[in-house]
Amino acid sequence: MDGALVKEIGTKGLLAGVGVLLLFWTFNAVKLVISARGINPLVKQFFNQIAAGRIDAAYILTTKTYRQHVSRQDFLKFLASLQLNLYRNLKSGRPRIQDGQIILTLKLKSEDKKAELPLDFTFIKVQEAWRIDRIAKAES
């Protein structure tokens, strides 16, 4: 009888642990989705500005800190090095929260889908609006 009792308590404990873990994961997933609202329109606006040749408008979508570290000329050089005109499709990865920032890997794909350019974007909230705080080529 004692073995059955230990087994029953162990099974219930395991199920309770799985339930708590599932609840924790669900809470964090919902928190991430709610907190990331507004990022996709910002990304779309950023790339639309670049496609329309309004580089200054795209540059303004970055944070003041970014603009202090990356001059407009450096921003232009960075964009030129990416050769964005070769890419037509954009695929968004899963966002990650780190130190109050959201990091999102975007994959630009060529029209023939043979070439791929992964970019890591870091977003922070500035006065209730999302802004780009960092852009870097991601490790493939």
The domain segmentation of the chain, as residue ranges, is 1-35, 38-137
Q: How far separated are the first and last CA of the chain, in Å rounded?
A: 56
pLDDT at 2 over 70: no
- What pLDDT is attached to residue 28? 65
**Beta carbons within 10 angstroms of residue 19's beta carbon:** 10
pLDDT at 118 over 80: yes
pLDDT digits (tens, 9 = 90+) for 9-54: 777 776 777 677 788 777 666 665 566 677 888 999 999 999 999 9
Two tokens at 11?
């099974």
Query: What does CATH list as the number for 38-137?
Result: 3.10.450.100
Could you please report the per-residue DSSP string of 60-75? HTB-HHHHHHS-HHHH
Distance of CA 48 to the CA centre of its chain: 18
- Predicted TM-score of the model (pTM): 0.72
pLDDT at 5 over 60: no
pLDDT at 120 over 70: yes
Which whole number is the average pLDDT over 124-140? 88
pLDDT digits (tens, 9 = 90+) for 70-100: 999 999 999 999 988 888 888 888 888 888 7
DSSP-based three-state secondary structure for 103 = strand
Two tokens at 114?
């043979």
